[in-house]
Structure 1
Amino acid sequence: MIQSKHCDLCEFPKRNLKNGLTCGLTDKKPDFRGFCSDIKFSDSFKEQLTELLNQIGQIKKRKTSVYFNFGLFVVIGLLIIFGSYPHLTEYLKKAFEPEFSYSDWKYFSLILLLEFVGILLLYMGFYPFNKYKKELNKLESDKKEIELVLKNYGIEIETLTNLEKIKKRHHNKAVYN
């Protein structure tokens, strides 16, 4: 396990260009195995964790609309592409005949435009879907890294965030009383 991942969650790390990462308590490089007995999770880490979990929740709320739009645009795009394909091949064959008229050219252009619209609809379905998946995977990956570190201390993310909520409630009660 990389010690810097533990130190990123702690209140005591020191970083500088000369020495790199050192512990603020011992002024030495981290040398523990598995877990640090002196770790104290920083308030900034707890805030970042809460923000991370909120971001994951917000993205997951968009799941239904993203999947619906994906399905809708892809189905319509494919229907347009496959529906106009036979006409496209017909006019492509005609294009190499000497009797290819101006009206044939207009229909051919219209069918090409339809094919382009179908491809554009596919893009409109796939791009937001891929963006959604990448955002969610990145945030879930960050969460898993934190979970791996917290596992060494026998702490689950939900426990840590619930403790913070309880502390805030007690603090708010003390302020209002």
Structure 2
Amino acid sequence: MNKNLLELSRHCKICQNLDFDISYGTRCGLTNERPDFEIRCGKIDFGDKAENYITEISVEKELVNKARFNYIGTFIMFLIISLTFIVGGALLTNKIFGFGIFHTATLVLMGIGLLALPKAFGALKTYRAKKEVADQKIKILNDTLNKYGKKYEIDLEINEIHGVNEIKSNVRIY
């Protein structure tokens, strides 16, 4: 086998002939063998599995994009909370207790502020990580389809009803 199995199995994810066995892994439903080809598979069949996979990763990307403002809002909220406690503790030290002498109450306030700071930056880190994964999946899909001279268009509609996403999609591979 000239290419690594992971790269070749990317072709199988969009093929109607995919046969996956948990103990064996990815294999072709036509040959019952693991994928083994140079650049592209001569037996690939773009069908429902391709459309379902395109829908799946497109939904993932869209949900990450929709959640962007939630992540940014979480960052801003926790940053404000953190800075309020830190600055409040410092001001309390200077104003009430005078001469900058730290007391337990001011240390607790500043400590709470410092504990909230990682939550703020954690929200941004989570968003960036999810976005990077979704973008990478789309890139890999596009690269794989390009090997076959294929492109796709998707009309995607996601409606959230009581916390459950209802998805309607129309995929065209050409």
TM-score normalised per structure 2: 0.66
**Greater strand content:** 2
Uncovered stretches (5+) of structure 1, i.e. residues with no partner: 93-107, 168-177
Deviations 1:8-57 (A, max 9, x none): 22121345589765433344543322111221124234223212212211
State the partner residue of 2:127: 132
Larger-gyration structure (1/2): 1
> Which residue of 40, 59, 62 maps to 2:64?
59
Distance (whole Å) between structure 2 residues aligned to residue 48 and residue 166 of structure 1: 10
Which stretch has the larger CA shift, 74-83 or 55-64? 74-83
Q: Secondary structure at the match of 1:10?
A: coil
Q: How many residues align?
A: 149
State the partner residue of 1:80: 85
Determine which structure has greater relative contact order: mean sequence separation of CA pairs < 8 Å that are 6+ residues apart, divided by chain length: 1
State the partner residue of 2:111: 116
Distance (whole Å) between structure 1 residues aligned to residue 100 and residue 143 of structure 2: 60
- C-alpha RMSD of the superposition: 3.1
**Greater helix content:** 1
State the partner residue of 1:101: none
TM-score normalised per structure 1: 0.65
Uncovered stretches (5+) of structure 2, i.e. residues with no partner: 156-168
